[in-house]
Chains A and B, each alone.
Chain A
Amino acid sequence: EVRLLESGGDLVQPGGSLRLSCAASGFSFSNHGMSWVRQSPGKGLEWVSSISSNGGLTYYADCVKGRFTTSRDNSKNTLYLQMNSLRAEDTAVYYCAKIAVIAQWYFDLWGRGTLVTVSS
């Protein structure tokens, strides 16, 4: 079965850190770029970050640049999002998503999401 499964969401205090993981199965993970997209009630769906298939290129939304780091381990078919200096406005469900076509950032497979809550 083709699927993405996120984990690692939690309640964290402002200024804290969290690492999300996304386990991929059922497709050739190492051949596809991947992204993180978040969804919060106030801001809807928001692209967060993308990474190339070999991990050599990463891209970030301005609102997370310098605080979040995306990486991947193709030997483990796993995508990561390291989140530091978390803020209340980072509260959201975080989805990992498979980029459908190289250099075209739309997403043909999404995980179920993991909830990150930033609050004291």
Chain B
Amino acid sequence: EIVLTQSPGTLSLSPGERATLSCRASQSVSSSYLVWYQQKPGQAPRLLIYAASSRATGIPDRFSGSGSGTDFTLTISRLDPEDFAVYYCQQYGSSPPTFGQGTKVEIK
């Protein structure tokens, strides 16, 4: 199965700053079938990005995804207070679907 490694584990930033999150796969992700989710405490994950770079319905344009092959990035251009949360990547290009361990974006 494909192992996804996210870095950094924790990102300490201030509102208005730019956040760059990385997701690296142990082997190439077929067709860039990679998504990003946001999860806040006590809540379910929320789909942000699918197919590596397409924003899900209702997601603000400050969220963007990029990458292909084994290296993917989620960028939040200007952090809003509501963006402080844990972010997970997931690949669905091969079975079983697998998740990264998450990156926590916290207020500095």
Contact = CB atoms under 8 A, between A and B. Distances in A.
Given A95-B44, A100-B47, A110-B46, A44 B99 contact: yes
Which of A45, A100, A111 has the most C-beta atoms of chain B within 10 angstroms of its own C-beta?
A45
Contacts of A106: 33, 35, 47, 50, 90, 92, 97
| Chain A contact surface mostly | strand
If over half of B's interface residues share one DSSP class (helix, strand or loop), that class is named, otherwise mixed; here it is loop
Interface residues of A, number: 19
Interface of B: 33, 35, 43-47, 50, 56, 88, 90, 92, 95-102
Interface of A: 44-47, 59, 61-62, 95, 100, 104-113
Given A44-B99, A44-B101, A107-B45, 4 more contacts: A47-B96, A95-B45, A104-B92, A106-B90
